[in-house]
Amino acid sequence: MPTEILMPALSPTMEEGTLAKWLVKEGDTVSSGDLLAEIETDKATMEFEAVDEGVIGKILVAEGTEGVKVNQPIAVLLEEGESADDIGETAAPKAEAKPEAKDEGAEADDSAGEKAGKAPVPREAQPGPVDGPAGKSDTRAPAAPKDAEGQRIFASPLARRIAKDKGLDLTKIEGSGPKGRIVKADVLGAAEGGAAKAQAPAKTEAPAQPQGGKPAMAPAGLSSDAVLKMYADREFTEVKLDGMRKTIAARLTEAKQTIPHFYLRRDIRIDALLKFRAELNRQLEGRGVKLSVNDFIIKACALALQSVPKANAVWAGDRVLELKPSDVAVAVAIEGGLFTPVLKDADAKSLSKLSSEMKDLAARARDRKLAPHEYQGGSFAVSNLGMFGIDNFDAVINPPHGAILAVGAGVKKPVVDADGAVSVATVMSVTLSVDHRVIDGALGAELLQAIVENLETPMVMLA
């Protein structure tokens, strides 16, 4: 029967989005991996891909529609041999499926859930086309099987076809789709690795989720009506909250309410760093490379996390995860909010490589073209407001990170040398905000000392 395509959850925090543009029209034939639509999430504009083949029978949500809830039907997919006449009531948005719904309805809901429950992944990360009849079969999907107790095994039509062609027993495969539904990835995972379960991508992000699985909301305060009444006699402009601003509000409220922050502050002399940077930039000019102070800060933090591995950690609800690589997130301001793209394996990359990656990520962040995997993860973050003339500030930890370094401007100041003489030096003030659940005071001080040493003796970062 016709299958609903639901609004997908393209990031762990997404609850609704804007259907920016349809890339298909009614009557188009689509296959797994074909682009269906562009969807604006709370962070970026993402392309949504089909996970099954069929014909677009009806588009339910017009492009440009805002506030489309996750799992709301947005289109109807017809299988082989079906026509628009078969759509019937499927095209009408409906409430959650009830337990007593009959099998056919449950299958339609589950199949639609399969389409909505998976975030798109880069094409190179997707399973390749299935060779032989499993990829394109001229036969109908076999009937849904039943387990030993006679209970129906829910699986998508494509999953049933692939399982039949590969001789796999669906009762031995655990589904990762909504309501435990077996989807294509589960069958391919069982076929390729002999594993009984292909885990859903979202599950790898579980430690990043606040307890309860949803962003913490702000405590009850003055209602919007009460605030509007308070300023009724004053001129103002009312600004509607977009998805990004709602997410920032929720996550930072969660961070300040649930993370026991403490703060460590240091002044860093960066004259040697500035001289070293200028010399490197002169030598790299022919290659079109220009290193920023922030590139050195990222590298210094990444190496410090390797020097103090206990501090390279995240909070995971009921445990701490100590990471091996240094994945450093960097705050990038964009119009209406910010992104924190993650530079993975930053400790192992050269300064020029970090610089080029950071420029690329920052440019795409400002265009809201980052994929979720590019701004999720990491154990540590850097927020630099020095270019705005800010001397120092305290940054809010981005959960589940263990710490974040707030960087101020380099300022000429009088300093006392080791021999007691007073001289002038360029001093940069930094503040390390630390999650006390993950990192204790002495460990945090050790991490910050390692960062300071790397920046004050920058040559060691090339060793």
Least confident piece of the model among 51-60, 146-155, 267-276, 372-381: 146-155
**Structural contact between residues 24 and 67, judged by C-beta atoms closer than 8 angstroms:** no
Q: Examine the pLDDT at 346 and tell me if it is beyond 60.
A: yes
Residues 192-201 have a mean pLDDT of 47
Q: What pLDDT is stored for residue 177 in this prediction?
A: 63
The helix (run of H) or strand (run of E) holding residue 67 is strand 65-69
Per-residue confidence band for 203, with pLDDT thresholds at 50, 70 and 90: very low
Catalytic residue of the set 261, 373, 401, 436? 436
Q: What pLDDT is stored for residue 17 in this prediction?
A: 87
pLDDT digits (tens, 9 = 90+) for 315-343: 999 999 999 999 999 999 998 889 999 99
Q: What pLDDT is stored for residue 140 in this prediction?
A: 52
Q: Give me the sheet containing 35-40, strands edge to edge.
A: 45-49, 35-40, 16-22, 65-69
Annotated active-site residue 261? The verdict is no
Sign of the alpha-carbon dihedral angle for 367, 369, 372, 375: negative
* Average confidence score pLDDT of the chain: 81
Q: What is the pTM of this model?
A: 0.61
- From 178, 256, 248, 251, select the one nearest 210 (Cα to Cα): 251
Q: What pLDDT is stored for residue 393 in this prediction?
A: 97
- From 244, 31, 268, select the one nearest 130 (Cα to Cα): 31
Q: Examine the pLDDT at 201 and tell me if it is beyond 80.
A: no
The residues with which 197 forms a beta bridge, in sequence order, are 174
pLDDT digits (tens, 9 = 90+) for 110-164: 444 444 444 444 333 334 344 433 344 444 556 656 666 667 677 776 777 788 8
Q: What is the SS3 assignment for 202?
A: helix
What is the distance of C-alpha 314 from the center of its chain?
Answer: 16
Preceding peptide of 400 cis, ω within 30°: yes
Please classify residue 62 by burial: count the beta carbons closer than 10 Å to its beta carbon, then call 0-12 exposed, 13-18 middle and 19+ buried. exposed
Q: Examine the pLDDT at 417 and tell me if it is beyond 70.
A: yes
pLDDT digits (tens, 9 = 90+) for 361-381: 999 999 888 888 899 999 999
